[in-house]
């Protein structure tokens, strides 16, 4: 007898809110349900009265938020009879597409920038059996090729230009409201291709403006537990997007031809969700801003060292930007702030290893030597 309360992925949980046929074959790895972690030590260090949370999407099955969109996109592709997927990727999309293609029993083709992908992500795509093509160009070149190929080859694109991707990713907003039992005042995200900030705004908008009667005691979505999810309250958060200074087209007002940043997941110069992301920013009263790579890496280390949460560099852009705006007062005292951490730190171990030399001490295999080293650190 199956366990009735076993979590089986976001499609089964939110099916009524997703544009899939009732009889669609669900391709799932148990994605979604990621923790919303309240930070304790960082707000104290900032000296500001804010309620600061991180939504740790790095705990999805392949280690990034991409799984939310991929489960819906691949389920739809399989329903349409697709036998192959294709994507351009800086790493996380390729890992997710490869895993879900393997789960579905179909082929995945991934285009990655030559020498511009974290090894942890490349290893995932390879192990999941994808055909990996390194192109002599950047992500934007790969995206152009993928879009052109879609008209000439029998493959389904699973980049965020696929609307089913954004439909899956919007469910993160549902989970945040469920856990907080309210809408946050600010939601901060890293911005690369800009699909995720768009998807979150779709989710928050559906929750706040949903067509439910106030007299209705319950609905299939929330079972009556959360009035926000029935559209009875109109609040939506301010959406705040952060980019690396070397890959900040939203701050330049135009595409960046040669984007460069240590945060490889957001090393994108021509975002595919450009107009939608601008609309989310304008409608929410939010903003875009840019950060130096040093600020991003400092936030990554601070989060890991002070809160025990290890995210990849691109993820830390959301927290780095939030901390800067909290210090400056742009984000007001008393605010509730959620920062999306898009991927796990083990996605990009190369960056962490750069600091290993100073973090690791070598001592003799002797109790006295080890004791001396320990006491020296405690003094």
What is the H or E stretch that residue 128 is in? none
Position 355 confidence tier, pLDDT thresholds 50, 70, 90: low
Pairwise pLDDT comparison (68 vs 231), residue with the higher score: 68
Mean pLDDT, all residues of the chain: 89
Share of the chain above pLDDT 90, in %: 66
Average pLDDT over residues 335-341: 98
Please tell me the distance from the alpha carbon of residue 261 to that of residue 267, in angstroms, as a whole number. Answer: 6
Per-residue model confidence (pLDDT) at position 210:
60
DSSP 311: B
In sequence order, which residues have a C-beta less than 8 Å from that of residue 315 and are 6 or more positions away? Answer: 57, 58, 190, 265, 300, 340, 341, 342, 343
DSSP 231: T
Pairwise pLDDT comparison (240 vs 355), residue with the higher score: 240
Q: Are 262 and 296 in contact (CB under 8 A)?
A: yes
Per-residue model confidence (pLDDT) at position 268:
87
Cβ atoms within 10 A of the Cβ of 75, count? 24
pLDDT of residue 212 exceeding 50: no
Please tell me the distance from the alpha carbon of residue 366 to that of residue 373, in angstroms, as a whole number. Answer: 11
pLDDT of residue 361 exceeding 90: no
Please tell me the distance from the alpha carbon of residue 58 to that of residue 68, in angstroms, as a whole number. Answer: 11
Average pLDDT over residues 239-257: 93
Please tell me the distance from the alpha carbon of residue 298 to that of residue 306, in angstroms, as a whole number. Answer: 12
Residue 242 pairs in a beta bridge with 190, 289
Per-residue model confidence (pLDDT) at position 360:
79
Sort 219 into a burial class: Cβ within 10 Å, 0-12 / 13-18 / 19+: middle
Sheet hosting strand 156-157, strand order edge to edge: 131-135, 107-113, 84-88, 156-157
Per-residue model confidence (pLDDT) at position 127:
96
Residue range 266-325, pLDDT digits in tens: 988 888 888 999 999 999 999 999 999 999 999 999 999 999 999 999 999 999 999 999
């Amino acid at each position: 007898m199956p366990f009735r309360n076993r979590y089986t992925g976001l499609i089964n949980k939110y099916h009524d809110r997703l544009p899939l046929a009732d009889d669609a074959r669900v391709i799932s790895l148990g994605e979604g349900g990621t923790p919303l972690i309240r930070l304790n030590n960082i707000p104290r260090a900032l000296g500001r009265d804010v309620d600061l949370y991180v939504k740790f999407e790095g705990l999805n099955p392949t280690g990034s938020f991409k799984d939310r969109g991929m489960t819906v996109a691949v389920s739809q592709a399989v329903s349409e009879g697709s036998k192959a997927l294709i994507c351009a990727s800086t790493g996380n999309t390729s890992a997710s597409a490869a895993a879900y293609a393997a789960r579905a029993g179909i082929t995945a083709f991934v285009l990655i920038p030559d020498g511009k992908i974290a090894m942890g992500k490349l290893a995932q795509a390879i192990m999941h059996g994808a055909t990996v093509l390194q192109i002599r160009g950047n992500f934007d070149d790969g995206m152009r090729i993928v879009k052109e190929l879609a008209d000439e080859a029998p493959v389904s694109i699973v980049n965020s230009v696929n609307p089913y991707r954004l439909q899956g990713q919007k469910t993160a907003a549902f989970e945040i409201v469920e856990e907080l039992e309210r809408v946050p005042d600010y939601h901060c995200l890293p911005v690369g291709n800009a699909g995720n900030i768009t998807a979150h705004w779709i989710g928050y908008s559906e929750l706040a403006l949903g067509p439910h009667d106030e007299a209705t005691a319950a609905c299939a979505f929330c079972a009556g537990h959360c009035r926000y999810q029935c559209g009875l309250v109109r609040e939506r958060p301010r959406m705040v997007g952060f980019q690396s200074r070397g890959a900040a087209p939203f701050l330049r007002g135009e595409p960046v031809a040669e984007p460069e940043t240590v945060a490889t997941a957001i090393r994108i110069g021509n975002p595919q969700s450009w107009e939608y992301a601008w609309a989310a920013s304008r409608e929410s009263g939010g903003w875009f801003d840019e950060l130096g790579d040093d600020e991003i890496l400092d936030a990554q280390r601070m989060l890991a060292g002070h809160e025990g949460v290890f995210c990849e560099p691109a993820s830390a852009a959301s927290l780095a930007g939030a901390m800067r705006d909290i210090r400056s007062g742009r984000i007001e005292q008393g605010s509730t702030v959620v920062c999306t951490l898009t991927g796990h730190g083990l996605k990009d171990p190369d960056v962490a290893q750069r600091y290993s030399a100073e973090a690791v001490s070598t001592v003799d295999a002797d109790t006295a030597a080890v004791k001396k080293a320990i006491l020296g650190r405690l003094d």
